């Protein structure tokens, strides 16, 4: 697991929040899980730009932070599923605001990255 070189500033609510969703794919994972629980392979298909290894690491971190829950079904072959927790759901309004901001400023991204 990644270990921070600089400690998180416990007096700054913005930095605390960002410390939970600061990676490239965590917000996208939460956004996908808002609708239904998903197996890891389903998340990999939903986010094909992310490598499976990176998604697995970020799912593990989200579970450790209590934002998602991993259920392992006792069957053969073993099957696991991730779902968003009530704590994770509290971040959905923030993600929705980011989605809305991105839609409103689409021209900025088209200029920066091309069409």
b/e for 34-73, b at 16 or more Cβ within 10 A?
Answer: eeeebebeebeeebeebeeeebeebbebbeeeebbbeeee
pLDDT at residue 55 greater than cutoff 90: yes
pLDDT at residue 111 greater than cutoff 70: yes
For residue 16, name the pLDDT band (cuts at 50, 70, 90): confident
Which residues span the domain enclosing 67?
18-113
Counting the structural domains of the chain, the total is 1
Question: Residue 84 is inside which H or E element, if any?
Answer: strand 79-84
1 domain residue, yes or no:
no
Q: What is the mean pLDDT of residues 13-23?
A: 84
12 domain residue, yes or no:
no
73 domain residue, yes or no:
yes
pTM score of the predicted model: 0.86
4 domain residue, yes or no:
no
**Which comes out higher in pLDDT, residue 16 or 86?**
86
60 domain residue, yes or no:
yes
Q: What is the mean pLDDT of residues 10-24?
A: 84
**Which comes out higher in pLDDT, residue 99 or 9?**
99
> Is 66:16 a contact under the CB 8 Å cutoff?
no
pLDDT tens per residue across span 60-77? 999 999 999 999 998 888
Q: What is the CATH number of the domain that holds 106?
A: 1.10.10.10
68 domain residue, yes or no:
yes
């Amino acid at each position: 697991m990644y270990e921070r070189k600089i400690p998180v500033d416990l007096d700054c609510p913005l930095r605390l929040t960002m410390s939970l969703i600061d990676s490239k794919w965590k917000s996208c994972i939460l956004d996908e899980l808002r609708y239904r629980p998903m197996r890891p392979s389903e998340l990999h298909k939903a986010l094909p730009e992310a490598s499976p290894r990176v998604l697995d690491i970020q799912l593990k971190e989200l579970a450790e932070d209590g934002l998602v829950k991993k259920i392992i079904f006792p069957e053969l072959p073993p099957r696991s599923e991730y779902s968003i927790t009530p704590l994770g759901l509290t971040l959905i309004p923030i993600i929705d605001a980011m989605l809305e901001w991105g839609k409103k400023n689409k021209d900025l991204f088209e200029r920066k990255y091309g069409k």
